[in-house]
Amino acid sequence: MLLPIKTNTLTKMIIVLVLLLIPILVLYSLSNRVSVSVVSSEIRAMKQKDLRFLATEFDNSVDNLSTLAFLLSEDIHIQELQQLPSIRTAYERNSEKSRMLERLRLLNVAERWDTQYSVIAPQQQDIVSTNPRAAFDLEELKRIASPTWQFKEMNVGGRMEYRYVRHVVKPESMRDRIEQAGLVVEVSFPQDLLAKDLDRFKLGGQGDPFMLLPSDQMITNSTADLDKMEELSRRIAAEPLRGQDSTVMELAGEQYLVSTVRIESLNGYLVDYYPLEAILEPIVKSRNLFYGSIGLLLILSTVAAYLLYRNVQRPIWLLIRNVQRLRDGEYSTRITVNPNNEFSYLFERFNDMASDIDRLIHKVYAEQISTREANLKQLQSQINPHFLYNCFALIRSLARLGKKQQVMDMAMHLSKYYRYTTRSEKSSAALSEELNLIESYLEIQKMHIQHLSYEIDVPDSMLRLEVPRLLLQPLVENAVIHGIEKSAMDGIVTISGEQADGLNCITIEDNGMGMTLDQIQELQHRITLPPTTETGTALWNIHQRIFLQFGNEASLNFAPGKHGGMKVRIQWPIEPGE
C-alpha cells in the first residue's frame, strides 16, 4: 500500500528552489536577450554610420576631382595648349607649358589625394601632365578613355598599374572620335590612396574594410585577411546588394556583422565585417558568470536540502513507512535504524508500542477478525440463492412468452450478476460495482414490468467506497416486487447517495404500494430481532452486515416515500481519508 505522503520533503524543497530560480532565469534571459539586441542594433547602426561617413568622404573627394576636371577643360589658359603650334619660338611654347604645369600642380597640392592631372591635345599630339614621365600615346588614350570614373590598368610612365581614371573631352561630341578632339583632361589616382584611407578607418578597431568592385576586384587595406574577404565577396556576389545594408554572415565558423555602403561615384561598394563575438564578449561573460552563480547556488541548495532530508525527512519517512506497515497488519515490524539524534527516542517508543500491539492482537483481536469473516461469508451465502430463485422464475416466464431476445438479454445480465457473486475472495466491493449489479438487475425487471423505470444518482466521490457485497440488491428487489409490481401506475425506483454531517448515505425509494406507518415501525423493530421462517432473512442480513462492517454508528432506516411507496436509507460514518 502506498505511503500517505507521496512526495518527500527533499523533492519538495528542490522543486521550490527550482521554481524560485525559474522566474529569475526567465527574467535574466529576457533582459540578456534585450541587451544583446540593443547592443547589436547600436553597433550595427554605428558601424553603418562610420561606413557611410567614409563613403561620403570618397564621394566628396571624387566629386571634387570631377569638378576640377571640368573647370580645367573650360580654363582659357589650359585651352591654349591647342594653340601652341602657332607660337613661333620653342622658348615661348615651353614657357606656356610650364605655366600650365604649374597650374596643374597647384590643383594637386590643394587636394587631399595625390592626383595625376594630364591635359592632352590629340590633334597636336601634345600633353602636359603632373607626371613628368607621361608621354602622348593615342592608342593608350583610346583604350582607357571613360566619361565616368573607372578602375583600369593604365600605363603610367612606362609601368602598368591600376588606377581610377576619368576623361573630360572638349568638345563632348568628339568623345567617340577622341583623336579629333580639341582637348582632353585626364584625372587619375592610384588604388593605394583608397587603401591608405581604409587603413586609417581600420586603425584601432576590429573591422576589416575593403572595396568591392563590379568586376569582383577588391581594394583592400594593408593588413587584410584575404581568405575571408574572398569568401565574403563570393557570398555577397550570390545575393544582390542594396545601397546600404547590414546583415550577419558566418565565416569560418564565426558570426560576423557585415555592413555595406554603395559609393556611387566609384561604382563600387564599401564593405566592412566585424566579429559579433568581440561585440558581445562582455555581455556573454556576464551571462556565463550569472548562469554559473545560479548553478552553484542550485548545487549548494541541493546539498543543504539533502542534509535536511538525511537528518530529518528520512527518519520521518522511516517512521511513516513502519506506521503504515503496522496499519496494514504487519505487527512484527520494527525500526532498526539508529540516527543518533532526537529520533532515536521516538523509534524506541515506536518499537515498544508495536511489540505491545502484536502481543494483544495475537491474544484477542485475531479471534474477533476470524469470527467476523466467518459470519460475513455465511450471510452472503444466504442472500445469493434468494436472488437466483427470483431470476430463474423470471427467465421461465419470459421463455414461456416466447421473448427470445429478452431471455438472451436477461441471461447476459444474469451472467454478469453470477460472475460478480461467485467471486468470494473478498467480502466487500466498491460501491460502483454494487451499482452496476443493481443496473443489471433493474434491466432484467424492466423486461418483465413494462411500467418500471429507474434513476441512479450517486456522486463520484462515493463510487470508490467499500461496502458489503450484495448490500443493495435485496432492497431494490423488495422495491420492485413488493412496491412497483403490485401497482398499476408507472413505477420508478430511485437510488441516490450523499455525504453530509460526517455520514455516507444511500437512499432507495420507490413510488409503489408502500406501507402504513404502523407497518413501517413494525418492520424497523423486526430487523433487530433474530430471523424466523415467517419474517425472512434478507433485511435482517443487511442490517447485521452493515453493523459488522461499519460498527454501531451504521443504521438501516425505513420511511414513507415522497410520492408514496417506501424509502430505505442506509448510512454509516465517513472514515478518515474518504
Q: What is the dihedral of CA 280, 286, 292, 295, to 10 degrees?
A: -100
Residue 143 located in a structural domain: yes
Same domain flag for 82 and 212? yes
Distance of alpha carbon 524 from alpha carbon 88, whole angstroms: 157
Phi, psi of 208 (to 5 degrees): -145, 75
Looking up residue 560, the CATH number of its domain turns out to be 3.30.565.10
Same domain flag for 148 and 193? yes
Over the stretch 37-69, which tens digit does the pLDDT of each residue have? 777 777 778 888 888 888 888 888 888 888 888
Cβ atoms of 196 and 202 closer than 8 Å? no
Residue 45's contacts (CB-CB under 8 Å, 6 or more residues apart) are none
pLDDT of residue 1: 38
Cβ atoms of 59 and 264 closer than 8 Å? yes
**Helix residue ranges, H only, 491-537:** 517-526
Same domain flag for 341 and 468? no
Residue 234 located in a structural domain: yes
**Helix residue ranges, H only, 75-148:** 76-79, 90-110, 138-144
Chain center to CA of 105 = 71
Cβ atoms of 574 and 502 closer than 8 Å? yes
Phi, psi of 116 (to 5 degrees): -100, 120
pLDDT of residue 572: 93
Residue 548 located in a structural domain: yes
DSSP state of 83: G
pLDDT of residue 109: 60
Sheet holding 491-500, edge to edge: 452-457, 491-500, 503-510, 566-573, 555-560
Residue 578 located in a structural domain: no
Same domain flag for 288 and 345? no
Cβ atoms of 270 and 260 closer than 8 Å? yes
pLDDT of residue 370: 44
- Domains identified in the chain, total number: 3
DSSP state of 462: G
Same domain flag for 337 and 398? no
Residue 344 located in a structural domain: yes
For residue 468, the surrounding DSSP H or E stretch is strand 466-468
DSSP state of 215: T
Residue 15 located in a structural domain: yes
Same domain flag for 540 and 398? yes
Distance of alpha carbon 228 from alpha carbon 208, whole angstroms: 10
Long-range contacts of range 132-135, CB-CB < 8 Å, 24 or more positions apart?
A: 132/157, 133/157, 133/158
DSSP state of 562: B
pLDDT of residue 88: 59
Residue 320 located in a structural domain: no
| Residues of the chain scoring pLDDT < 70 | 1-10, 84-89, 92, 108-112, 157, 204, 240-244, 362-388, 390-391, 394, 417-418, 420-425, 531-537, 578
Asked if the bond preceding 171 is cis, omega within 30° of 0, the reply is yes
Cβ atoms of 377 and 423 closer than 8 Å? no
Residue 438's contacts (CB-CB under 8 Å, 6 or more residues apart) are 456, 472, 473, 476, 495
Same domain flag for 19 and 63? yes
Same domain flag for 350 and 389? no
Question: What cell does 410 get?
Answer: 436477461
Same domain flag for 98 and 137? yes
Same domain flag for 28 and 99? yes
> How, if at all, do strands 183-190 and 116-121 pair?
antiparallel
Q: Which domain holds residue 329?
A: 325-359
How many CB atoms are located within 10 Å of the residue 524 CB? 16
CA distances from 221 to 151, 152, 201, 203, 270 (A): 17, 19, 9, 10, 12
DSSP state of 536: -
Residue 102 located in a structural domain: yes
Q: How far apart are the first and last CA of the chain?
A: 16
Cβ atoms of 483 and 565 closer than 8 Å? yes
Helix (DSSP H) and strand (DSSP E) numbers for the chain: 15, 17
Same domain flag for 339 and 355? yes
Cβ atoms of 9 and 309 closer than 8 Å? yes
Same domain flag for 427 and 496? yes
Question: Which residues are bridge partners to 279 per DSSP?
Answer: none
User: Whole-model pTM?
Assistant: 0.46
Closest Cα to residue 97, out of 116, 82, 111, 110? 82
Long-range contacts of range 317-323, CB-CB < 8 Å, 24 or more positions apart?
A: 317/3, 317/5, 317/8, 318/347, 319/343, 319/346, 319/347, 319/350, 320/3, 320/4, 320/5, 321/3, 322/350, 322/354, 323/350
| Amino acid letter, 543 | H
Over the stretch 197-214, which tens digit does the pLDDT of each residue have? 888 888 867 788 888 887
How many CB atoms are located within 10 Å of the residue 382 CB? 13
